[in-house]
Amino acid sequence: MTNLTTLKALCDELKVSPREARTRLRAAIKDTKNFPALNKAYKPGSLWQWPTGSGAEAEARKAVNIEPAKK
């Protein structure tokens, strides 16, 4: 079985709330230019998890770690 990185593990590591992380990931999925692997790996209705060491995991980590834009 492939090792998976879950959203919960990512949030614990980066000290971000899961709600905020999901919001940032949804925005990143729409940005296909900057997050192509994350967009390709996303399947609607599936869990927020990625194979450890994959490009999608690296892009998810990057997306979750981005500071939100000021409104």
At 46, is the pLDDT very low, low, confident or very high (cuts 50, 70, 90)? very high
* Higher local confidence (pLDDT), 14 or 70: 14
pLDDT at 1 over 80: no
67 or 24, greater pLDDT: 24
Give the pLDDT confidence score for residue 21 in this predicted structure: 95
Please indicate, yes or no, whether the overall pTM of this predicted structure exceeds 0.75.
yes
Cα separation, 29 vs 41, in Å, equals 9
Domain assignment of residue 55, yes or no: yes
Residue 59 lies in a domain: yes
Q: Which structural domain range is residue 56 located in? A: 4-65
Identify residue 14 by its one-letter amino acid code: L
Whether residue 71 lies inside any domain: the answer is no
Domain total of the chain:
1
Domain contains 47: yes
**Residue 70, in any domain of the structure:** no
Q: What is the mean pLDDT of residues 32-61?
A: 94
- Give the Cα separation of 43 and 45 in Å (integer): 6
- What is the spatial distance between Cα 61 and Cα 54, in angstroms, rounded to a whole number? 11
Q: How far apart are CA 25 and CA 60, in angstroms?
A: 7
Domain presence at residue 16: yes
